Amino acid sequence: MSKPAIGVGLIGSGFMGRSHSLAYLNVDKLFELPFRVELRMLADQTEAQASRAADAFGFARATGDWRELVADSRIEVVSITTPNRLHKDMALAAIDAGKHVWCEKPLAPTLADARIMAEAARHRGVRTAVGFNYLKNPMMRLARDMIAGGEIGEVRTFRGIHAEDFMADVSQPWSWRLDPANGGGALVDIGSHIIAAARYLLGPIVEVDGRTDTLVTSRPIAAGAAERRTVAVDDVTTARLRFRSGVVGTIEANWLATGRTMQHAFEIAGSAGSIAFSQERFNELQLYCAGDEAARRGFRTIVAGPEHEPYGAFCVAPGHQIGFNDLKAIEARDFLLSIADDAPRHAGLGHAGLGHAGFDEGVAVLEVVDAIYRSARDGGQPVAIGVSAQ
């Protein structure tokens, strides 16, 4: 018997738009889903741009007006992969039309906007997802299971960083990422990932203090241009964290980290051992056991394999590795399963045991971001986190 189809619309065809497309193309070939995925429409800034992307990505139709996509009754799922400042209007329109929404992070430029989006989804009863794709790594699930199982004892400290170098070159032109209308700089753009990881692994963050620094204070208005534009967002942000469990920690968000293309990394120390991870080698997890014989102590490497669900859907052999777009396929699976599931709607990290991040999680992460920025503006004074992060 043929499965029913679920129609997908995509707004935006850049890096993340391509990744969403690949995820949708592969998800029902890799995983058992109750429906087949059909790529029905792609929207971009112009009709020509949308048509080129639709042909490349496998969408049936294209439009230069995202509102046309949202209004189409044949589309049940909308992916939003545009700059942050556009997320709110697009998501609210899709939600109002009864569509399920997968939105890239951060959910919105401001905490207030994110709350409006989450409440709209909750009221309309649609399913949501936020693009915290690094949470989908089987090694992240393993780390969380090991922590919950007491394998490193009582957790004491967390050290996390998300560092890249895509803004390290001072000749890099001013772009939408530097527009304060998008909610901030390195912290909200890439730091939101390490905040999401910290919450996934160790639970709610209840207090922060932070510092922001803008080190490249102006950028060329275009490649090679002499005219420059002021940069008014953070290049580097650091913060101290306190978790509800009593664990203390630090995070750094840095897009000037020369030589680092994806240092999404953490180390968690407990009374009986430690866990260390870096996205630069994301098919590996490092484990230190304090109970080992003194002459044999040291971090050991656990290599991803079919035993670490859902690695086996991609490869039957351990150590052969999965990649970035595979994480997006897992994210698509969890989002689509949340649509098919009859569990309470608008679930957050606990949904169906999958670690699915809905709009509520997007709000919780932005509560931490907002608190860090407020602390930095107030000279690093501690700021308590609001109730949504609990």
Q: Can you give the residue range of the structural domain that contains 92?
A: 5-133
The answer to whether 78 and 100 have CB atoms below 8 angstroms apart is yes
Question: Is residue 67 situated within a structural domain?
Answer: yes
Three-state secondary structure call for residue 76: coil
Same domain, 219 and 169: yes
Three-state secondary structure call for residue 87: helix
Same domain, 199 and 161: yes
What's residue 351's pLDDT? 37
The alpha-helical segments, DSSP class H, found in 131-218 are 138-148, 186, 192-202
Mean pLDDT of 85-104: 98
Question: Is residue 339 situated within a structural domain?
Answer: no
Domain count, the chain: 2
Residues 6+ apart with CB under 8 A from 217: 230, 231
Question: Is residue 254 situated within a structural domain?
Answer: yes
Same domain, 127 and 204: no
Q: Is pLDDT of 85 > 90? A: yes
Distances (CA, A) of 224 to 4, 168, 176, 215, 289: 52, 16, 17, 20, 53
What's residue 344's pLDDT? 41
DSSP per-residue codes, 293-308 = -GGG-S-EEEEP-TTS
The answer to whether 11 and 81 have CB atoms below 8 angstroms apart is yes
What's residue 354's pLDDT? 52
Burial class (CB in 10 A: 0-12, 13-18, 19+), 179: middle
Three-state secondary structure call for residue 244: coil
The alpha-helical segments, DSSP class H, found in 176-323 are 186, 192-202
Domain boundary among 133, 154, 179: 133
Question: Is residue 329 situated within a structural domain?
Answer: no
Same domain, 173 and 307: yes
Residues 6+ apart with CB under 8 A from 128: 100, 101, 102, 103, 118, 121, 346, 358, 359, 362
Same domain, 146 and 171: yes
Percentage of the chain with pLDDT > 90? 94
Mean pLDDT of 249-254: 98
What's residue 342's pLDDT? 53
| Inter-axis angle of helices 111-124 and 359-377, nearest 10 | 160
Domain boundary among 91, 111, 133: 133
Question: Is residue 336 situated within a structural domain?
Answer: no
Same domain, 152 and 279: yes
Q: Which residue has the tokens 């020509």?
A: 48
Measured distance CA(116)–CA(362) in Å, rounded: 12
Same domain, 46 and 181: no
Q: How far apart are the first and last CA of the chain?
A: 44
Question: Is residue 344 situated within a structural domain?
Answer: no
CATH number at residue 51: 3.40.50.720
Residues 6+ apart with CB under 8 A from 116: 88, 92, 108
Same domain, 191 and 55: no
Confidence at 341, pLDDT banded by 50, 70, 90: confident
What's the length of the chain? 390
Q: Is pLDDT of 269 > 60? A: yes
Mean pLDDT of 329-334: 97
Same domain, 105 and 217: no
CATH number at residue 200: 3.30.360.10
Tokens of 206: 């209840």
Same domain, 179 and 295: yes
Question: Is residue 309 situated within a structural domain?
Answer: yes
Mean pLDDT of 31-60: 97
Confidence at 2, pLDDT banded by 50, 70, 90: confident
Measured distance CA(366)–CA(128) in Å, rounded: 16
Confidence at 386, pLDDT banded by 50, 70, 90: confident
Measured distance CA(137)–CA(140) in Å, rounded: 5
**Structure pTM?**
0.95
Q: Is pLDDT of 1 > 70? A: no
Q: Is pLDDT of 57 > 70? A: yes
Q: Is pLDDT of 352 > 60? A: no
Same domain, 112 and 146: no
What's residue 356's pLDDT? 82
Q: Is pLDDT of 168 > 50? A: yes
Same domain, 107 and 237: no
pLDDT in tens, 293-306: 999 999 999 999 99
Residues 6+ apart with CB under 8 A from 242: 205, 206, 207, 208, 248, 249
Domain boundary among 112, 133, 154: 133
Question: Is residue 342 situated within a structural domain?
Answer: no
CA 287 to chain centre: 25
Q: Is pLDDT of 347 > 80? A: no
Distances (CA, A) of 374 to 239, 367, 377, 380, 381: 11, 10, 5, 8, 9
Closest among 109, 8, 168 to 373, alpha carbons compared: 109
